[in-house]
Structure 1
Amino acid sequence: MSTIMIIDDDDQLRISFERLLKEEGYGVRTAPSGESGIRMITEAIPDLVLLDVRLPGMNGLEAYRQIHRIEPKLPVIIMTAFGTTETAIEATKMGAFDYVIKPFDIPQILSTIRQALEAGRFMRSPVDMDASPDKIKGEVIIGKSPAMQEVYKAIGRVSATDATVLVRGESGSGKELVARALYHHSVRSDKPFLVINCVAIPDTLLESELFGYEKGAFTGATHRRVGKIEQATGGTVFLDEIGDMPLNLQAKMLRLLQEKSIERLGGRETIPVDVRIIAATNRNLERLIADGQFREDLYYRLKVITIWLPPLRERTGDIPLLADYFLSRYASELGIENPGITREAMSMLVSSPWPGNIRELSNTLQKALIFNRGAPLSLADITQATVDDAKNHHLSEDACDDQVRAWIRTLLSKGEQENLFENCMDHFGGVLVGEALNLTGGNRSQAARLLGMSRPTLHAKIDKYQLKIETSVR
């Protein structure tokens, strides 16, 4: 359970905030002043600090400086009113994770808390490389195959430099672990490490998330906002799924890599930044360049160093090592003895194609272990774990098909109808396109990729079905 420290002199806010966070499953400690909060942090370091700017005695900025000296990798979220936003921005430039404006938007601050806790875990949890089980302190990249030995060599050679790195490999192959290993073994390891998933954030928000914005830049921009690039000054930014970054942002990213500077959205000031960029993708960037979806100049700026991660099916000799690691890890988390695995079950693991790579292998072993009764995992245990998801998927599809058939029978029972077939196809087409757009937050490029069609075709469908596109703007 993560522990959160609240430092604020407002008794009512501390009480209500503590109640909210405990209901969310967090451990909470509180302090009414910077001095008392720092004493408590010195005694036991929490996972996250929520720090008010205006405090009696020591102000929030000085409190942040002392907290940062105690534990540089402890994420701190600054709480501020509009009148003290500039102070919060200053703290953010010094390394604070983020700042939130009072009064709080509860869903927004809970989301920021989750992001900060994850960032703190990434910064403080080391990533070992092929360590023996008794020496593993955090997460580990495992493999003794020749391909993985090349990965270790590349990490060792590159981590001590400031070179931009592009990590390539299939989904689930461990690209994030490689990025974190590069960070932990770098000279910037005492500075921030921030992760941005380019496909998880709608296009309308990604620019402001990365580069920040000025007051009045758009409707709702009531104050200046520092972006993740500025927040990570001196540290490292990991851009996951960069192959899905919109073209207009690719131009800004190119400027960052070339000139080491950015401009906030709606601003004209050129802001120098000192960050190292590590990017990752499972997309075929060369094909995207040929299709006009990725800038060739950005491609060459990113691939100063390229680290290729092999898919699991090309290093099957590493599967027994991975299986032993995951079984030990999950058994420890469940508070049980590692039951081991039979020879037949291991043979199945080694011979399986694992399209989801290490992530799929990990999930399969975790599920098998949860339902295991203490004996070594058998062939039946592994088979059951691998077919459960497929079975549930087919069950849900069958239930959906039954509902669709019932609806179609109702239409057909009404007798002959003009253009019934075309109308039904348009109905399902509209639903499909609409859901793809909802899932991507109105991002037409991403929706087109999900649907397997070109952007012009998607635009034609939107016009044909008269769909209204809703996007979120911060």
Structure 2
Amino acid sequence: MNAQRILVIDDERSMRDMLELFLKGEGYEVTLAEDGRDGMEFLKVNNYDLVLTDLKMPNASGLDVLEFVKASSPATQVILLTAFGTHLSALGAMAEGAFDFIEKPFKMDELKFQIQRALRVSELVTNQIAPQGEDLGFLPLPMVGRSPAINRVFDVIRKVAQSPTSVLITGESGTGKELAARAIHESSNRAKGPFVVINCGAIPENLLESELFGYSAGAFTGAVATKTGLIPSAQGGTLMLDEIGELPQHMQVKILRTIQERKVLAVGSVEEIHVDVRLITATNQNLENMVRRGTFREDLYYRLNVVEIEMPPLRDRREDIPLLAGYFLRRFSHQTGKTIRAMEKETLEALLQYPFPGNVRELENIIERAVAFETQDRLSIDHLPPHVLRGHGLGHGPLPTEIPLPPEGMDLEETLASIERSLIFDALRRTSGNQTDAAELLGISFRSIRYKIQKYGVDLADI
């Protein structure tokens, strides 16, 4: 197997020499360039898996190198080395396609870790491009980020992936709970097995048991054939029970028994089936409070919460916004056949100032919408939604606690209903009509939002 090729560009000789010694010791093939202009000359005649480049250099900067790489070699990843780590230009570079940036002075083990991640992405992209030049839009989404908050999540995932331990993933809507569960699965020895996700709040209560455990032919009216349940279908792999807090209490008992005995009994059957699955659960609710209220079984809670991973909201990892925005920009640009290479500085600044109550999922939706409207090669601030530009919206801050009573009085029930309908409509709009996500954003159950949509006659076609 040929050694992976890395181009190092830095105007400081001591830095070039140190990186060359380290990288060759790690088994990489290394080329050195004194500045951005020389680096781009090397890039014209050679293929590299990774470019490590200083940000501030004479003749041509690291940003110039990045632009050249993205235009000529999309599989090549770029990591910026900079003493200006909090400067907007470094953050903007991630939005324009840089894999990451590392502040000088850096630790070699930190650099090694980032290089390994970048080369893995380069390999994935190369393997997708090389055979037929097919769609890159469906590359598996990496867990993107460099913030301390998301790095703590990465650390726990690495530690628990190879064990059979049950994991409870908590966090607000849109923070990436399913993505974290998938990362655990793909990093485990069960990666070749199925990864089955069950949304406990999306299945009608009267169908839950038959959907989860399966049923035998003739078990009930309409059961003309035996059906394998969702839990047995995860055999040899990983089972994710999303929105576990929505599980009715009678089903909590059955799930607890399944965990304890590793067996399921299909509806209408007398023969139990052994199941070998890794269990991961997720919720945006406080299960401890539910235990205290008596709505969630304490014994089940302790079975599920062997290891807890708390997904941070995007407002607590704001330094990841440029990297995430850049990833989504490239993804949706490719899917739509557009050549939007970067976003304007003002666009990035607006995103950095917005609180993102819908977290990463909201950022993804915003970039997808903006790409759909953009006709130039840079993403304009003009295509960001009005609520982002206003700097406020659903979830941005506390709602008004005082509404003045008109002199002529009011119909209180009608006023409250109007406010509730408006919030439901706004949440559905924010989540592109996804009822489950909208319910999480509002802090209510899936069943509640479904009832309220019917109650207020909200037409999802208008979303």
TM-score by length of 2: 0.55
Among 355, 358, 371, the alignment partner of 1:353 is: 355
| Shift of residue 220, structure 1, vs aligned partner | 1.9
- Distance in 1 separating the partners of 2:342 and 2:331: 12
2:228 partner SS: coil
Match of 1:213 among 202, 212, 215: 215
Q: Which amino acid aligns with 2:338?
A: I
Counterpart among 226, 229, 236 of residue 227 in structure 1: 229
Match of 2:194 among 192, 195, 201: 192
Matches within 5 A, 1:165-176: 165-176=167-178
Compared CA separation, residues 134 and 167, structure 1 to 2 (3 A)? same
Report the identity percentage. Answer: 43
In 1, Cα distance between the equivalents of 2:226 and 2:349? 58
Equivalent residue, structure 1, for 2:287: 285
> Which secondary structure does the structure 2 equivalent of 1:217 belong to?
coil
Return the alpha-carbon distance in structure 1 between the equivalents of residues 235 and 446 of structure 2.
33
1:77-226 equivalences in 2 (<5 Å)? 131=118, 134-135=122-123, 137-226=139-228
Q: Give the partner amino acid of 2:235.
A: T
Verify: 1:271 aligned to 2:273, yes or no. yes
C-alpha separation in 2, matches of 1:161 and 1:219: 42
Equivalent residue number for residue 369 of structure 1? 371
Deviation, structure 1 residue 246: 1.2
Distance 1:362 1:157 in 2: 28
How big is the shift at 1:229?
Answer: 1.5
The question of whether the paired residues in 1 share the 8 Å contact of 2:374 and 2:380 is answered with: no
In the other structure, the counterpart of 2:262 is: 260
**Structure 1 Cα separation of the partners of residues 275 and 356 of structure 2:** 41
2:326 to 324, 327, 332: 324
Distance 2:389 2:325 in 1: 18
Instruction: Kindly indicate whether the alpha-carbon contact (under 8 Å) linking 1:130 and 1:142 is maintained by their aligned counterparts in 2.
Output: no
Aligned equivalent of 2:249:
247
SS in 2 for 1:139: coil
Q: Describe the SS at the equivalent of 1:361.
A: helix
Residue 312 of structure 1 deviates from its aligned partner by 0.2
2:296 to 283, 294, 307: 294
Report the CA distance shift for 1:192/1:452 in structure 2 as closer, same or farther (over 3 A).
Answer: closer
Q: Deviations over 1:188-235 (max 9, x none)?
A: 111122111111111111211110123333222233322122222211
State how 1:1-12 maps to structure 2 within 5 Å: none
- SS, match of residue 141 in structure 1: coil
State the Cα distance separating 1:339 from its structure 2 match: 3.4
Q: CA separation in 2, counterparts of 1:155 and 1:447?
A: 28
Cα distance between partner residues in 2 of 1:301 and 1:151: 21
Partner of 2:25: none
CA displacement, residues 229-286 of structure 1 (integer Å, 9 cap, x when unaligned): 2222211111111111111111111011111112112333332211111111111112
Number of residue pairs the alignment of both structures matches:
282
How far apart, in 1, do the equivalents of 2:203 and 2:123 lie? 37
Q: Measure the CA separation in 2 of the matches of 1:306 and 1:328.
A: 32
1:446 CA drift (Å): 4.9
Whether the 8 Å contact between 2:166 and 2:307 is mirrored in structure 1 is yes
- Asked whether the 8 Å contact 1:261–1:272 carries over to 2, the reply is yes
User: How big is each residue's C-alpha offset from its partner over 1:147-175, in whole Å with a ceiling of 9 and x where there is no partner?
Assistant: 11111111111111111111111111111
Other-structure match for 1:74:
none
- Deviation at residue 369 of structure 1 after TM alignment: 1.3
- RMSD over aligned CA atoms reads 3.3
2:309 match: secondary structure: strand
Which ranges of structure 1 fall in alignment gaps of 5 or more residues?
1-128, 392-420, 433-438, 454-464, 466-474
Q: Is the 8 A contact 2:160 2:184 kept in 1?
A: yes
Counterpart CA distance in 2 for 1:272 and 1:234 is: 11
- Which moved further from structure 2: 378-387 or 205-214? 378-387
Q: Give, in angstroms, the shift of residue 376 of structure 1.
A: 2.1
2:183 is paired with a residue whose SS is: helix
Partners of 1:148 and 1:374 lie apart in 2 by: 33
Contact 1:368 1:385 in 2 (8 A): no
1:345-365 deviation per Cα after TM superposition (whole angstroms, max 9, x unaligned): 211111111111111101101
**Distance across 2 between alignment mates of 1:386 and 1:244:** 31
SS at match of 1:228: coil
Unmatched tracts of structure 2, length 5 or more: 1-115, 125-138, 394-410, 422-434, 437-443, 456-463
The answer to whether the 8 A contact 1:169-1:175 is kept is yes
Structure 1 167/131 Cα, relative in aligned 2: closer, same or farther at 3 Å? farther
Task: Indicate if the aligned counterparts of 1:174 and 1:358 stay in contact, CA closer than 8 A.
Answer: yes
TM-score normalised over the length of structure 1: 0.54
Task: For 1:156 and 1:249, locate their aligned partners in 2 and report how far apart those are by CA, in whole Å.
Answer: 31
| Alpha-carbon distance in structure 2 between the residues aligned to 1:187 and 1:338 | 39
| C-alpha displacement of 1:385 | 8.2
- Residue 61 of structure 2 corresponds to none
**Measured at CA, do residues 131 and 205 of structure 1 come closer, stay the same or move farther in structure 2, by a change above 3 Å?**
farther
Task: Report the equivalent of 1:118.
Answer: none
| DSSP 3-state at the match of 1:254 | helix
1:321 deviation in Å? 0.7
Higher helix share goes to which structure?
Answer: 1
Quick one: distance in 1 between partners of 2:214 and 2:323?
43
The answer to whether the 8 A contact 2:339-2:377 is kept is no
